[in-house]
């Protein structure tokens, strides 16, 4: 595409938003396929023999994350060297086949294997998609673009929250939900690859790998990168527990049905996260006009909202108020949106283009590995009858530490364009 004239740049700017629009449904499916299992816990346990302990359920949730985390750097490394649109499309195709196959499992071990395969197939998507968006969007629109993409993630979690109702319907059931989502992803994969190739972003000619021998070494010696990795990880410990365990927490704490619990645990705070991502992206892009630390300040603001949210969620069962739990989950969602839409844009301020997908993959490796431990550990703590207020107070303390971590990051690339 010729971008040496105003018409070319106008077409590029328009297609940059088309890219985001094409990837939003993929992000939706990416998280819908994950969230459904948490929202349909009761139906799955009743239908699949061998899941007789909370810790076993935690292991089903955790094995996905551990495999996903382990392969995320590889996914990013491949994306930084080869075609990002092909990595995105083939990842969608692979995890959609696994999603369909999840609806066929007949035992605990088969379900465990299916979740591990889901981790393999999904590991390539998020680092690649966010790096692709950052290549199309300059610093002036990057946080908004990433925020809109993350909106697909939140919509996927919302739809996943309703899957408890589907699981309760005898004519549909949890297996039908997995099979249907699998077919949708399979149908979308190849058209997506073709559409993403219509207008390649300018300046994306690939360098031969030998021209970037220090790609990983440059990241591993980058102080700001490790601050970002730690900052990215600590809130995710709470985030994964909220996503994966909250439907069961609300169901058991307030004695409500599986469908209502799934909706209450996902829909409201995810809608709040959408609002947070949109507002946080706009605010960060605007603040960047005045300070190179604009995204950092907005992200720190979001993390500050997560601190009281975790205290409130933890104490709501003690108070006996579902409304209180939902209200503090919404506050968590707003803070999460501010945080989520700025992680890749902040990475763009401290790592050059050829390191971004790899960098985000490493961030996923550390963050989601800890998220997997959190899923398993939370199940173990539940078996030991540790009170929720104690667990969520610890999450709040981690959020406090995170505020100081992000404020310690110093941008090194002008406008994040390096």
Identify the structural domains of the chain with CATH numbers, from first to last.
Answer: 10-198+217-416 (1.20.1250.20)
- Asked whether residue 147 carries a pLDDT value surpassing 70, the answer given is yes
pLDDT of residue 58: 74
Give the model confidence (pLDDT) of 310-322 as tens digits.
999 889 888 888 9
Distances from the Cα of 67 to the Cα of 28, 129, 272, angstroms = 20, 19, 29
Three-state SS at 293: coil
> Residue for token digits 């071990």?
109
Instruction: Indicate whether 382 pLDDT > 80.
Output: no
Residue showing tokens 């530490």: 401
Inform me whether the pLDDT recorded for 418 exceeds 80.
Answer: no
pLDDT of residue 221: 83
How far is the C-alpha of 257 from the C-alpha of 387, rounded, in Å? 22
Burial class of 364 by CB neighbour count within 10 A (0 to 12, 13 to 18, 19+):
buried
Mean pLDDT of 10-18: 76
How confident is the prediction for the chain on average, in pLDDT?
Answer: 83
Q: What angle do CA 350, 352, 355 make, to 5 degrees?
A: 100
In this predicted structure, which of 57-61, 73-77, 249-253, 407-411 has the lowest mean pLDDT?
57-61
pLDDT of residue 314: 87
Tokens of 70: 């382990």
What's the pLDDT at 186? 93
Looking at per-residue confidence, does 388 or 230 come out higher?
230
Kindly state the average pLDDT of the residues 30-58.
Answer: 77
* Mean pLDDT calculated for residue range 407-411: 92
Instruction: Say what the pTM is.
Output: 0.77
Given a cut of 90, whether residue 160 has pLDDT beyond it is: no
Tell me if 368 sits within 8 A of 68, measured CB to CB. yes
At 183 the pLDDT is 93
What does the chain come to in residues?
A: 418
Intra-chain end-to-end CA distance of the chain, in Å: 21
Residue 216: predicted pLDDT: 56
Say what the pLDDT of residue 297 is.
Answer: 95
* pLDDT above 70 for 10: no
- Closest by CA position to 336, among listed 392, 274, 381, 286: 274
Q: Report whether pLDDT(9) > 60.
A: no
Q: pLDDT at position 118, please?
A: 87
Is the pLDDT reported for residue 205 higher than 60? no
Structure confidence at residue 8 (pLDDT): 53
Q: Which residue has the higher pLDDT, 413 or 248?
A: 248
Q: Which residue has the higher pLDDT, 208 or 82?
A: 82
Cα 269–chain centre separation: 14
Nearest Cα to Cα of residue 335 among 370, 298, 364, 366:
298
Residue 355 pLDDT > 90: no
Residue predicted with more confidence, 410 or 243: 410
pLDDT: which is higher, 197 or 8: 197
Q: 92: which 2 tokens?
A: 């969608």
Among 121, 120, 118, 35, which residue's Cα sits nearest to residue 70?
Answer: 120
Give the pLDDT of residue 213. 46
> Does position 156 have pLDDT exceeding 60, yes or no?
yes
Q: CA 179 to CA 100: how far, in whole Å?
A: 4
The confidence band for 210, taking pLDDT boundaries of 50, 70 and 90, is: very low
* Least reliable range by pLDDT among 36-40, 109-113, 202-206: 202-206
Angle subtended at Cα 70 by Cα 371 and Cα 40, rounded to the nearest 5 degrees? 45
191 CB burial (10 A radius; 0-12, 13-18, 19+): exposed
Residue 403: the pLDDT is 93
pLDDT (average), residues 29-36: 82
Ranges 21-25, 53-57, 104-108: which has the least confidence: 53-57
Q: Please provide residue 402's backbone torsions phi and psi, each rounded to the nearest 5 degrees.
A: -65, -35
Residue 80: which of 17, 130, 148 has the closest Cα? 130
Q: Where is average pLDDT lowest: 204-208, 224-228, 267-271, 366-370? A: 204-208
Q: Are 95 and 33 in contact (CB under 8 A)?
A: yes
Comparison of pLDDT for 166 and 346, the residue scoring more: 346
Give the 3-state secondary structure of residue 351: coil
DSSP state of 106: -
Q: Is the pLDDT of residue 211 over 50?
A: no
Displacement of CA 376 from its chain's centroid (Å)? 19
Indicate whether 209 pLDDT > 60.
no
Q: What is the mean pLDDT of residues 230-244?
A: 85
Segment 102-126 mean pLDDT: 87
E strand or H helix at 116: helix 108-122
Q: What is the DSSP letter of 409?
A: -
Q: Note the pLDDT tens digit of each residue in 256-294.
A: 887 788 778 878 888 999 999 999 999 999 999 888 899
Tokens of 127: 């680092």
């Amino acid at each position: 595409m010729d971008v040496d004239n105003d018409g070319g740049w106008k077409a590029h700017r328009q297609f940059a938003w088309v890219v985001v629009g094409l990837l939003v449904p993929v992000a939706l499916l990416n998280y819908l396929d994950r969230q459904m299992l948490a929202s349909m816990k009761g139906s799955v346990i009743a239908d699949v023999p061998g899941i007789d302990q909370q810790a076993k359920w935690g292991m089903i949730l955790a094995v996905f994350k551990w495999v996903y985390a382990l392969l995320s750097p590889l996914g990013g490394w491949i994306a930084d060297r080869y075609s990002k649109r092909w990595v995105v499309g083939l990842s969608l195709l692979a995890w959609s086949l696994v999603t369909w196959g999840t609806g066929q499992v007949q035992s605990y071990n088969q379900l465990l294997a299916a979740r591990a395969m889901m981790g393999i197939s999904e590991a390539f998507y998020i680092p690649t998609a966010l790096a692709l968006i950052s290549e199309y969007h300059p610093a002036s629109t990057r946080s908004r673009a990433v925020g809109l993409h993350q909106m697909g993630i939140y919509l996927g979690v919302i739809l996943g929250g309703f899957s408890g109702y589907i699981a309760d319907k005898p004519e549909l059931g949890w297996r039908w939900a997995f099979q249907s989502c699998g077919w949708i992803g399979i149908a979308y994969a190849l058209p997506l690859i073709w559409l993403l190739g219509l207008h390649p972003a300018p300046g994306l000619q690939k360098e031969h790998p030998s021209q970037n021998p220090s790609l990983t070494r440059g990241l591993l010696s980058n102080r700001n990168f490790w601050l970002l990795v730690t900052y990215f990880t600590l809130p995710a410990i709470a985030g994964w527990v909220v996503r994966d365990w909250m439907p069961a927490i609300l169901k058991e704490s307030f004695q409500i049905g599986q469908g209502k619990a799934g909706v209450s645990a996902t829909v409201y705070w995810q809608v709040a996260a959408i609002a947070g991502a949109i507002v946080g992206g706009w605010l960060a892009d605007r603040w960047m006009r005045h300070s190179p630390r604009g995204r950092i300040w907005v992200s720190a603001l979001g993390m500050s909202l997560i601190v009281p949210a975790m205290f409130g969620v933890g104490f709501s069962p003690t108070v006996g108020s579902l409304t209180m739990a939902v209200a503090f989950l919404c506050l968590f969602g707003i803070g999460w949106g501010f945080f989520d839409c700025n992680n890749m844009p902040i990475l763009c301020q401290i790592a050059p283009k050829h390191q971004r997908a790899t960098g985000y993959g490493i961030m996923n490796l550390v963050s989601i590995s800890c998220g997997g431990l959190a899923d398993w550990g939370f199940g173990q703590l539940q078996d030991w009858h540790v009170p929720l207020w104690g667990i969520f107070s610890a999450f709040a303390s981690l959020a406090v530490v995170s505020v100081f971590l992000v404020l310690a990051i110093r941008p090194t690339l002008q406008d994040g364009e390096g």
